Amino acid sequence: MYALDLLEDLGLPEDLIEDVRGMLGRNADDLETNNVKPIGDVFGGSHAGGLLGHHSSVAQQHVARAVLQMAAGLRGYRDNLAGFVDDVGDTDVANATALNSIATATACVAAPSFQANSACTLPASTTEGD
């Protein structure tokens, strides 16, 4: 079973995964492009209006940073989704190799004798001391 087969078994076909990755990337771009804009001097020239403007500006900066962090998080999730697909594929290949080795070894020891089994050969005998 390959990574895409597994994801399809999980109900996640390849085109859906690519759609999700594309959506995550587009939404991250949209968040950065449409981030909150700085607040101008909209609260008047009084001391209280200036103080409210300052506090609003500080709050806006916190929101803008949070939006950028959210965009970075969406990109990270998009990249991790691709990494997951790759890791599942690598695991499938590694497990298939290990299972083939076990099957080959099992065939060697399951035969009535080494002479009757053409799949396995005895190691060449060496003279001790060579």
> At CA 87, angle to CA 91 and CA 3, rounded to 5?
75
The model's pTM is: 0.54
Domain map (residue ranges) of the chain: 3-110
> At CA 10, angle to CA 86 and CA 91, rounded to 5?
30
pLDDT of 66: 92
pLDDT tens-digit series, residues 72-118: 988 888 888 878 877 777 887 888 888 888 877 777 776 566 556 56
pLDDT of 82: 79
Share of the chain above pLDDT 90, in %: 3
Q: Which two tokens stand for residue 35?
A: 């981030």
